[in-house]
Structure 1
Amino acid sequence: MDQQKLVDAQFGVAAMDYLQSPTHAQGADLQRLRALADGQRDWRVLDLGCGAGHASYALAGEVMEVTAYDLSAEMLLVVAAEAQRRKLANVRTQQGVAEILPFADACFDLVVTRFSAHHWADVPRALKEVRRVLQPEGRLVVIDVIAPETPLLDTLLQSVEVLRDASHVRDYRRSEWEDMLVRAGFVVSDHQAWKLPLRFESWIARMRTPELRVTAIRSLCAHAATEVRDYFAIQPNNDCAIDAAWIEAVSPSA
């Protein structure tokens, strides 16, 4: 199964779970998105890898139009129904992959991707497409889980992530994000990081992780080095805290 089909299979069945997930439905980053778009009534926004659409809902009340774009048709059905329920008539949905955006050059003022990019098969290619569809001086906001720079910590995080979700590609380090953004022609303008608490049981239930893989995750966490357990605040029930970040970049004028 190729990466796109794997992502679609993993997330299509979980669409309603992601709509209702407190981890995805709440957060200061959503409030910050609203503040970023405050007063920008003429903006057109792309929510790239929109999932259950929480970034779209946060922005729709501030801007002209939000395009919720995702690989999963099931996710987009959930987004369309929820936007209608919230009376957000300016949210439209479109299906596709991050690496090939079916939009004209310079047609968006803001592109947001929230907890999606760690599933993309080719992030550098996707960033080039984002640069193409952004207006000059348009902004990209990446909100995602961030891997620690220390290899020991990075290894544990990636191992647990791929065991939990077979469609996981990589949680990138801040240094990797900045390098990819610069190579795609962006200027990084802001970075903020925070700890994202995870409740283990709901985290694995949302992804319907097979029991054999859950056992492997528990074993990895139980036998992790002390510095790893301390960094991720791993509790006896495997609740933990991982790093998330807001990375903002500008597409400069030619």
Structure 2
Amino acid sequence: MKTQHKLNQEQYQDKSEAYLHSSVHAEGQEFGKMRMLIQQHKLKNILDLGCGGGHVTYQIAAYADQVIAYDLTPEMVKLVQQQSKQKNFSHVIGQVGSAEQLAFDAATFDCIISRYSAHHWQNVGQAMLEMNRVLKQHGKIIIFDILGHSNPVFDSFLQSIEMIRDPSHVRDYSLQEWTHFAEYAGFRIETIEKQHVALNFQHWVQRMQTPIEAINTIRYLQQAVSDEVRKYYQIQDDGSFTSEALYLVLSKN
């Protein structure tokens, strides 16, 4: 039986290099916010949850005593270990596992960062409870992810093209949903900020090795939707578009 976790592993097992070299993943104003928070609160033991190509790890490693690069896909973890070694980050440790079952003792981390990962998780509520368990008192959670929408018209379009591009996609959650997850897990919300992420269509589908028939379906949807949807996502003639992203900081009191 193919589980959601197995589907995720299959989708990403041969894409580590693509994500390492993706400008969308390697760049972003959120990195500066992360570094500032880490330095301000002297957060030294950090979990990069759903590390992917490792860009969070590379950005914050110089400010931490230890970083655990944690991902469901072994190939991603191996890549981050190799890159960290080349960058002389000897305090970066790679570990394979799921967000819903964190293989760490209670109160292990000062900070947990998850960037562009949560939309693949099988059960965000369970993952948030696990994050609370392994986070120290007064620790910080930083989540950055593509933001869903409370308007069903906008949301249905986004979820549809995401899943057609990548069948392991679960959901881009709305701000209301993230607020619910945070409160459910017992976190206090400190910061809510929105950013816009411009996505080059050709790079977006190439990175995932999306089949041509799926690409054609996405382009059909982009052309068939209302002007309201096209304007909201700033859909260009070549298929490139813009999504909203959420920068969320939570604390454990």
Report the TM-score range of the alignment, normalised by the length of the smaller protein: over 0.9
**CA shift for structure 1 position 35:** 1.4
- The residue number in structure 1 matching 2:131 is 130
- The residue number in structure 2 matching 1:17 is 18
Q: Secondary structure at the match of 2:63?
A: coil
Is structure 2 residue 222 aligned with structure 1 residue 221? yes
Matches within 5 A, 1:40-51: 43-51=44-52
**Over residues 121-169 of structure 1, what are the superposed CA-to-partner deviations in whole Å (9 max), with x where a residue is unaligned?**
0000000000000011111011000012211000000000000000000
Q: Distance in 1 between matches of 2:43 and 2:127?
A: 25
**CA shift for structure 1 position 40:** 5.8
Q: Distance in 2 between matches of 1:181 and 1:77?
A: 31
**Over residues 153-192 of structure 1, what are the superposed CA-to-partner deviations in whole Å (9 max), with x where a residue is unaligned?**
0000000000000000000001100001101111111011
TM-score, structure 1 normalization: 0.97
User: How many percent identity over aligned positions?
Assistant: 36
**CA shift for structure 1 position 41:** 5.7
Q: CA distance change for structure 1 residues 42 and 243 in 2, over 3 Å: closer, same or farther?
A: closer
- The residue number in structure 1 matching 2:164 is 163
- The residue number in structure 2 matching 1:95 is 96
Q: What amino acid sits opposite 1:191 in the alignment?
A: I
Q: Is contact 1:39-1:62 (8 Å) kept?
A: no
Is structure 2 residue 83 aligned with structure 1 residue 82? yes
**CA shift for structure 1 position 251:** 1.0
Q: Is contact 1:71-1:95 (8 Å) kept?
A: yes
Q: Distance in 2 between matches of 1:191 and 1:40?
A: 18
Q: Distance in 2 between matches of 1:46 and 1:141?
A: 10
Structure 1: 5+ residue runs without aligned partners? none
Matches within 5 A, 1:29-44: 29-38=30-39, 43-44=44-45
Q: Distance in 2 between matches of 1:201 and 1:29?
A: 24
Is structure 2 residue 86 aligned with structure 1 residue 54? no
**Over residues 186-216 of structure 1, what are the superposed CA-to-partner deviations in whole Å (9 max), with x where a residue is unaligned?**
1111011011000000100000011111110
Q: Find runs of 4+ consecutive structure 1 residues off by over 4 angstroms.
A: 39-42
**CA shift for structure 1 position 42:** 6.1
Q: Is contact 2:43-2:111 (8 Å) kept?
A: no
Q: Distance in 2 between matches of 1:15 and 1:42?
A: 28
Q: Distance in 1 between matches of 2:40 and 2:244?
A: 31
RMSD of the alignment, in Å?
1.0
Q: What amino acid sits opposite 1:55 in the alignment?
A: V
- The residue number in structure 2 matching 1:191 is 192
**CA shift for structure 1 position 37:** 1.3
Q: Distance in 2 between matches of 1:201 and 1:211?
A: 11
**CA shift for structure 1 position 34:** 1.3
- The residue number in structure 1 matching 2:251 is 250
TM-score, structure 2 normalization: 0.98
- The residue number in structure 1 matching 2:241 is 240
**CA shift for structure 1 position 39:** 6.2
Q: What amino acid sits opposite 2:178 in the alignment?
A: W
Q: What amino acid sits opposite 2:61 in the alignment?
A: A
Q: CA distance change for structure 1 residues 66 and 234 in 2, over 3 Å: closer, same or farther?
A: same
Which stretch of the first structure deviates more once superposed, 41-50 or 100-109?
41-50
Q: Is contact 1:41-1:64 (8 Å) kept?
A: no
Q: Distance in 2 between matches of 1:42 and 1:210?
A: 42
Q: What amino acid sits opposite 1:199 in the alignment?
A: N
Count of residue pairs brought into register by the alignment: 252
